[in-house]
Amino acid sequence: MRALSTLLHRWVGLFIAAFLFVAAVTGTIIAWDGEIDRLLNPHLFRASDTGPAIPPEELARRVEAAHPQVRVTYLPMHVPPGQAQPVFVTPKVDPATGRRHELGWNQLFLDPATGAEIGRREWGRIWPVTRETVVSFLYKLHYSLHIPEMWGIDHWGDWLMGGIAILWALDCFVGFYLTLPPKPRRSRGRSLGVRWRRWAPAWKIKAGASAYRLNFDIHRAFSLWTWGLLFILAFTSFTLNLHREIFYPLLTSFAETTPSAYDSRTPRNGGDGALDMAAVAALARAEAERRGWEAPLGAISYSTAYGLYNPRFYEAGGDHGPGLGPPRLYIDDMTGVVVGDYVPGTGTAADRFVQLQFPLHSGRILGVPGRIIVSVTGIVIAALSVTGAVIWYRKRSARGTAARRRSKRAAHRTGSGSALASGRSPAE
């Protein structure tokens, strides 16, 4: 059993090491995506005019009037003083071609006081990577590796990283098992204390050890001390990347879940709803007041494919936690009818389990402390990927050296035997 586990851990670890290294490094960075983006691009996020701010929904209306080929799809409602108003857009379908307009940008930054455009960029652009797009590039690289669309499917990267996550989650248990001391042949009468003393070195890094031993101790000890966090990140990587393909269907096969507003709707190609951001904002605020929600309207997103507006309610800065995320509504873009909602911490046990996945993976469930934990764990995962590869390489090199020595000894014995048989000295 131990030999098989070692073999599995070695080859599965080698297969996923490079993927985990990329995901770990990018995850460590994007845990602070907003802060890093603002630090790198102050020319986009700072507004010079300090006059009274125009309501965000009015700014959205002006954007759509100035650019008839776009529809505003994400509108933050809280903009701190002195900062620009960001607006995400998606291109409309060109009636002449039946395809969406080519824009070369999908995000605008506006002066809240005047509505003037400060800058624009294409969030998520693959190449070339610039200071303005590097954060979004890393964000998409983290979960999809930017693998392009093939055969009409653009989820290859998500599926690949989801499969890597499954292997990683299973390997967490194999690796933990291998840290346990081998069971002695005569284990009867051994106390728990004795067994712990035999396992205790696995949790430590030996001072003054050789480079190889230090590398091995780091790999083993870091894995043990952070095992719970490693498994959480592995499991939530699977549930997020393969949510519709595997996780949710599997969960609903044995647990009761509440269908979301999207489950009853069929994606559409093109078409625009009758309601704009201003109308949705008014409807959302009225519905929140009726329900007794105290948090203000924090942002509105719009899915043109499903014809659903998604108003979210949170205080300024509350979109990053702590908790399970802000409450939200789902409003039909044609009728203005509220067709669903999301209230964190409610629903069936399975619903609450689903709600946990992204807050756990991102660390936002604990707010800033959780994001720090995720960043540190990302550094650990990168270290484990490197140290695991080094362990394999050193052992492979050692086996190769031993094999060459055995071959030389065998050749020497063969040569000596031939010389003696011929009556000559081996030195002749």
The 10 Å Cβ neighbour count of residue 152 is 5
Q: Is residue 420 part of a domain?
A: no
Chain centre distance of CA 401? 41
Q: In angstroms, how far is the first alpha carbon of the chain from the final one? A: 52
Closest to 236 measured CA to CA, from 102, 119, 353, 69: 353
Residues 118 and 253 both lie in one domain:
no
- Per the CB < 8 A criterion, the answer to whether 195 and 367 are in contact is no
The pLDDT assigned to 424 comes to 54
Residues 154 and 35 both lie in one domain:
yes
Strand order in the sheet with 117-121: 117-121, 107-110, 85-91, 70-76, 297-303, 308-313, 328-332, 338-342
User: Is pLDDT at 194 greater than 80 in this prediction?
Assistant: no
Q: Is residue 337 part of a domain?
A: no
Q: What is the pLDDT of residues 43-62, one digit of tens each?
A: 999 998 778 899 999 999 99
Residues 248 and 396 both lie in one domain:
yes
Residues 97 and 229 both lie in one domain:
no
Q: Is residue 73 part of a domain?
A: yes
Residues 169 and 247 both lie in one domain:
yes
The pLDDT assigned to 188 comes to 55
Categorize the per-residue pLDDT at 403 as very low, low, confident or very high, splitting at 50, 70 and 90.
Answer: confident
Give the torsion sign (CA, 339, 340, 341, 342): negative
Give the torsion sign (CA, 163, 165, 169, 174): positive
Residue with tokens 């005019």: 49
The pLDDT assigned to 426 comes to 44
Q: Is residue 126 part of a domain?
A: yes
Residues 254 and 155 both lie in one domain:
yes
- Per the CB < 8 A criterion, the answer to whether 5 and 178 are in contact is yes
Residues 372 and 405 both lie in one domain:
yes
Give 92's DSSP letter: P
Q: What is the pLDDT of residues 4-52, one digit of tens each?
A: 999 999 999 999 999 999 999 999 999 999 999 999 999 999 998 778 8
Q: Is residue 200 part of a domain?
A: no
Backbone angles phi, psi at 153, to 5 degrees: -120, 130
DSSP 288-347: HHHHT--SPEEEEEEETTTTEEEEEE--TTGGG-SSS---EEEEETTT--EEEEE-TT-S
What is the residue range of 389's domain?
A: 1-41+150-180+206-258+368-413
Q: 121: helix, coil or strand?
A: strand
pTM over 0.85: yes
- Per the CB < 8 A criterion, the answer to whether 105 and 123 are in contact is no
Residues 36 and 69 both lie in one domain:
no
Q: What is the pLDDT of residues 62-121, one digit of tens each?
A: 999 999 999 999 999 999 889 999 999 999 988 888 888 899 999 999 999 999 999 999
| Domains identified in the chain, total number | 2
**Preceding peptide of 76 cis, ω within 30°:** no
Residues 69 and 119 both lie in one domain:
yes
Q: Is residue 288 part of a domain?
A: no
Q: Is residue 70 part of a domain?
A: yes
Share of the chain above pLDDT 70, in %: 94
- Per the CB < 8 A criterion, the answer to whether 91 and 103 are in contact is yes
Q: Is residue 264 part of a domain?
A: no
Which helix (H) or strand (E) segment holds residue 73: the answer is strand 70-76
